[in-house]
Amino acid sequence: MSPGAVSQRMRDLQAELATPLFVRNGPRFTLTDAGERLAGDMYDIMMSLHSAVATCRKDKVLRLTVTPTFATRWLAPRLHMYQAQARSVALSVDVSTEPRPMANFDIAIRSGDGRWTGFDVAKLFDVEATPLLDPGLLGGRKLAHAAELLDYPLLPDREWPRWFRAAGVKLPPGRGDLTRQCFATQDLTALAALDSAGVALLSPRLFVGEIVARRLVQPFPDVLQGPDAYWLLTRNNEARTYALRFRDWLLSAVTSEKI
């Protein structure tokens, strides 16, 4: 629709209801209190229609939106276990850290502080970070103290100062480089570490495969926990059986693997 047609629809709606729904401020529109109430009620109605139609479909499609590192390092290797017990449900996985309109997905996995309105929220596990590096970078050296990491190139990460504090190491002046130009995801940081570019702060839970295979080594037991965590988001009052079963499967899988 053209902008003019949208404006006409807005005027017609307000005239029919005899209630102002929008306030114009230059080129921008904001909702009035009545507009906010109507939008919320209409959204609930549309979501109920969506759920009703989805429940009646013979072929169920569960739409997930998942953060990149969680998707590749935790979820993807385990989805076959879910699909073995839910063969009639097809999965559509959107990998993104960006917000998505609620109508565009059924279940979300995001990292953060757990405060999302409009959702039932369940914690999966804390975001973790510990130094991991290519064993070739050590050259056979065994590190005895966390301060020895400063002898190696450290891949930028905003959590380095906190990790060193927790390990009892005071950073020397001029190490602001540690938090500059951070990679967007742990996966990208891991690729640099695997290529011997430096020491990375990564989750030992999500990169356990690399640790077990000795592609990356964890020289110290100190692991940062939080403050952010991975969270499972389902809509408030979700009633579709196949969505609830996926939620229950995921929570059970995480619980059984807690370390």
Exposure of 61 in the CB half-sphere (CA atoms within 13 A): 8
How high is the pLDDT of residue 95? 93
The domain limits of the chain are 128-224
How high is the pLDDT of residue 109? 95
How high is the pLDDT of residue 49? 67
Q: What's the one-letter identity of residue 60? A: K
- State how far the Cα of 126 lies from the Cα of 112, in Å rounded to an integer: 9
Residue 204 main-chain phi, psi, to 5 deg: -65, -25
Mean pLDDT by 10 residues, the chain (259 residues): 82 88 83 86 70 60 93 94 89 87 86 90 96 93 92 93 92 79 88 95 95 96 93 90 93 84
Q: Which CATH class is domain 128-224?
A: alpha beta
How high is the pLDDT of residue 28? 82
Q: In what order do the strands lie in the sheet with 119-132?
A: 89-95, 60-66, 107-112, 224-235, 119-132, 200-202
How high is the pLDDT of residue 58? 54
How high is the pLDDT of residue 248? 95
How high is the pLDDT of residue 29? 82
How high is the pLDDT of residue 93? 92
How high is the pLDDT of residue 259? 53
